[in-house]
Structure 1
Amino acid sequence: MSTTEGLSRRGFLAGASALPFVGAAGSVSAQAPFPTRPISLIVPFAAGGSTDIVARLVGQKMGELLGQSFVIDNRAGAGGNIGSTAVARATPDGYTILMGTIATHALNPAILKTVTFDAVKDFTPISLLAVVPNVMVVHPSFPAKTVPEVIKLLKDNPGKYSYASSGVGTPLHLSGELFKSLGGVSMNHVPYRGAGPALNDVVSGAVPIMFDNLPSSAQFIRSGQLRAIGVTTKERVSSFPDLPTIAEGGLAGYETYTWNALFGPANLPRPIVDKLNATANAAVKDPHVKQRLEDISAVIVGSTPEALGEHVKAELAKWGPIAKASGAVVE
């Protein structure tokens, strides 16, 4: 079974129970023209990262399909909290939307010292666009080569080994915490200011283990500078078909990934939601966009608004306890 088929079966592509779109009735006619001016797509992270790349790819195609440009507005800071808050407080007219992620809508509510929005109540879900797998990598000198060997080594040497991450409370940090929790093992967490510096230290051997986004580790895996232990998704990925998942490697129930999704402010009228949803889903299935996303190991989704809403709730339920147990707190 392919990854896409697996994701579909788990409900990403199928709609769930309808979410309330309060205030939609009567606020916008189905015949009302939209859009009539450029749309601001807020990316709550710095330019150049994977979320920014997805936003520019999808935004450009959506603009072509709608006949209005999508202006990418990078508002980085506080782990995505600044940009997300701006959208939560924006006028619900469809002209300000968010490229949300697992960080903004599943992790931040659990780790931010001050929460300035409700991930469910303050947003209107539009579409889950794509899912990007993570991968567990180790330096070639690391003694273990499989998930069972890693778990045994860590259990036999509690506290001896460390893993690097892109920072406290990030998806990569909590991927490691989930591995510790399910495997009953001990590892020291070494946070960095970004995935790049962390990856460099794992390649050099300064830190032996890392959970990374697969796209950024792929070249090092192929060159032999890193050894991949397993991908973190439920199914194997097409770019590394011989690489087992961590779950099938012996850690049942393990599954992490990053994702990108479009959200509007709460109470976004349903006709606008439907138009943005249809356009976004057409954009990710465009041959050029699809190929570019697959080049970075992304799995194309293109969900209903309802499926994205249920996905966010499931992610909050999954990651909240893990984040709290990790003790991660971000100012």
Structure 2
Amino acid sequence: MGSIKTIDVDTKEPKSTLDLISLKSLSRKLKKNAAFYDIAIDVISQAANAIIEESNLGNVNFSLKNSSEFYEIILSDDYQMPLAILTGESNKYQYVIVVLIEYDTEEADVDKNVNNNIVLVHDDNEYCDIPSGATSIVLRLNKKGMRICSQYEPLTKKWEKVDLMATIGYTENQLSTLISKDRNDLSMVVLTLYKDTYDESLSDEELKQLMDDNKEILNLNSFFEDNSVLTFASDSNKKKSLCITPNDGVNCNMITYEKGYYCVDVCLFGKYIQTVYKTTDKEKIIDFANFLFYRLYPNDVIIDAFVSRDTFITFNRKGELHTHIPSNRSQLKLTPDESEIVNIVYSILEAKLCN
């Protein structure tokens, strides 16, 4: 017979602790990603199937053409779906289904006279916001010239001429590029990002100008695109200026290009704080970016930011703010400019935590 151990219930035995925060964080991230895709599949399927049935295109097979944009959403930590583009074809025509997905804090207001197919979504999800609704339309193109011919109108049950810019916010040339084999064209990536950021459309000429204005930062991003996120600058004075930032979800610096200078900015929770370093030398910014984009952090660090060329701060899960000053500095203390940025960052963090 085995021995019996007597335990004094009044005595609290010390318990060891296990720090598994990093694994729990990764688990939640993966669950959030899975939830995002499950919602996308459900919403797009409902909206696309409804317009397919309405337009009698049940004999046409459709496939999603812009899946890479849904992946980019996950990298940017946004988790709000872009419009979905599905294509299919018959002997004479190519068909394009566009699903416009909307998010709203209030229930979508549906106009029964709108000539589009609308699917309302009512659900709750622990990990992602649920769209308030989705509008689907189907376009028909002549396969010979791949030009937009018409849009199916559910009310009249006819294929009618369409104003693309007014309907979905794309020019004919932009939509043709999106659904072509070259749909991952960098200009389309930038266009989608611009529309998501500013909720505005661009003509072909405006898009070309936007690409020209940002060619230096786009070229810089090509060196680090596996570890970077392309976005638009938070500084309101730099509207339409692209920037790159690490995709680690920890660092709060972004690199922009303005008036001949590569600039390193500090931005926290979408708020531009200050430019902390600038140079006209591309090799210098590449050296700095190499360090910025390939950094490793302790598990408890949740915020990291350079406050000058060689000094950075970290903020951990315990609420501790640490400064990291290079040892070759004559006095191991922050400069006045660095201190000002640190104070701003800390006040923002403090306000965020209090809320």
What interval of TM-score do these two structures reach, taking the shorter chain for normalisation? under 0.3
Q: Which structure is richer in relative contact order (CA contacts within 8 A, separation 6 or more)?
A: 1
Q: TM-score, normalised by structure 2?
A: 0.24
Higher strand share: 2
Compare CA radii of gyration and give the structure with the larger one.
Answer: 2
Select the structure that is richer in helix.
1
